[in-house]
Amino acid sequence: MIRFDSKRLGSGAAVALLTGCLVACAGGSRDSGGAPPPAGGETVETALQHADSAFKDGDYTEAQKGYEEALRIVPDHPRAIVGLGTCGLKNRQVKRAHDLLVDHLSRHPENTAARLVLARTLVRQAEFPEAAAQLRTVLESDPDNLMAHYNLGFIAYRSHDYDTAMQHLQKTLALRPDHPEAHYTLGLTEMATGKYDDAVTEFEKAIAIDPRHVGAHFNLAAAAARAGRNDLAEKERRAYADLSGRSKADAEESAQVKAASLKAVEALMAERYEEALAEYQTLLAAHPQYAPLYNDIGRVQLKLGRRTEALESLKQAVTLDPTLSEPHYLLSNLYHQMGDDAASTRERATFAALETIPEGKSAY
């Protein structure tokens, strides 16, 4: 399973965040949609600004409404299409997002950002050959697109096309050497072709970046045993057993928190933010090490205009689990508002990195 514990991490090329363009949420490419300036541009821009603001706050339902309004005013607006498609992924409306993007790209094939979101919908639906075709089209206009290369490597590995997998994964690592999932998937590819020493090297690199990567520990034990490195194999078996037990406990806690957070979610949807905050804080008292709760609290604090408190909550979220993508996104926006461009760029790159990981899983 692709994760540091239970979430996913990768690395990404520099990608513009949603401060004027929703490219980062499409996975890290340029929005090349070429629609002419719309009539009544101020009105559509108002709708887009509202949607962008909601997306920044992690309110994907409200963001979806904003992008739908923008498209009502200007059908096929490329930025709104990308935003609405991404919200579809976030809100589990994958088929709807897929159909929207296919329809748009039939008229605007140059919209690379929309094509990347379409590829994500296809991977989510396990339609790997179709996703690969879309990603190859992306590379025709953007040959260094990190998301395209990594996901093509992942898909090729799943399809047992190991030469192609190595080609794209090595390109991914040339673009971003600290991409743990590229090292991990390359290790799987090396092991599948009987190159056990090389597989050991790649799994060790993945673990150096992500020490809690369950799959990397599991496969490092297997690769080390086949390479005759029995001491390393035994060490990694113990590490895997320890982390696997933690992962099961984390999954149980996640289910408990989800079941108990209904009141908080209802209050948030009804814009009763003080009530939602109180509910989340009560949950946090019972689950003080559960990172997503800090993210939820940070989102509500942003709604209440409490930026300093939100900053601390979001920082705690990524300290507990650096692989949560949303707090990195929200932190980037906060740092930008505070004038800390270096920190904003760092968080932006981390968020973009997380967006390069495929929607599917590369089971170990």
User: Which range of residues forms the domain containing residue 276?
Assistant: 253-354
Give the end of a domain, one of 121, 149, 168. Answer: 121
Q: Assess contact for 116 and 132: CB atoms under 8 A.
A: no
Give yes or no for residue 9 having a pLDDT over 80.
no
**How far is it between the farthest Cα atoms of the chain?**
69
Residue 164 pLDDT level (bands cut at 50, 70, 90): very high
Q: Higher model confidence: residue 253 or residue 323?
A: 253
| Residue 335, domain CATH | 1.25.40.10
The answer to whether position 152 is within a domain reads: no
The chain-wide mean pLDDT, for the chain, equals: 83
Q: Residue 11's pLDDT band (boundaries 50, 70, 90)?
A: very low
Does residue 149 form part of some domain? no
Q: The tokens of 58 are what?
A: 């992690």
The verdict on residue 198 lying in a domain is no
Of 91, 121, 151, the one marking the end of a domain is: 121
Is 3's pLDDT higher than 70?
Answer: no
Q: Provide mean pLDDT across the span 30-38.
A: 38
For residue 187, being part of any structural domain is answered with no
Averaged over 67-79, what is the pLDDT?
A: 94
pTM value is 0.67
Closest by CA position to 150, among listed 191, 108, 114, 180: 180
Asked if 146 and 176 count as a contact pair (C-beta separation under 8 A), the reply is yes
pLDDT one-digit tens code per residue, 241-261: 888 776 666 777 888 888 888
* High-pLDDT (> 90) share of the chain, %: 55
Query: Domain total for the chain?
Result: 2
- Which of 103, 121, 139 is the endpoint of a domain? 121
Asked if pLDDT for residue 364 goes beyond 50, the answer is: no
Task: Let me know: does 17 contact 24? Beta carbons within 8 Å.
Answer: yes
> Is residue 282 one of the residues assigned to a domain?
yes
pLDDT at 132: 96
Residues 344 and 332: their CA atoms lie apart, in Å, by: 4
> Which tokens belong to 148?
């395209």
**Nearest-10 Cα torsion for 201, 202, 208, 213:** -130
For residue 79, how far is the Cα from the chain centroid?
19
Write the pLDDT tens digit of every residue in 166-177: 999 999 999 999
Q: How confident is the model at residue 356 (pLDDT cuts 50, 70, 90)?
A: low
With 60 as the cut, is the pLDDT of residue 38 above it? Answer: no
Please indicate, yes or no, if residue 258 is contained in any of the structural domains. yes
**Can you name the residues that pair with 206 across neighbouring β-strands?**
none
Confidence of residue 357 (pLDDT cuts 50, 70, 90): low
Question: How far is Cα 239 from Cα 228, in angstroms, rounded to an integer?
Answer: 18
In DSSP terms, which residues pair with 7 in a beta bridge?
4
Check if the beta carbon of residue 100 is closer than 8 Å to that of residue 85.
yes
The DSSP 8-state label assigned to residue 179 in this structure reads: -
Q: Is residue 337 part of a domain?
A: yes
Q: What integer is the mean pLDDT of 326-348?
A: 87
Q: Is there a domain that residue 243 lies in?
A: no
Query: Is the pLDDT assigned to residue 265 strictly greater than 60?
Result: yes
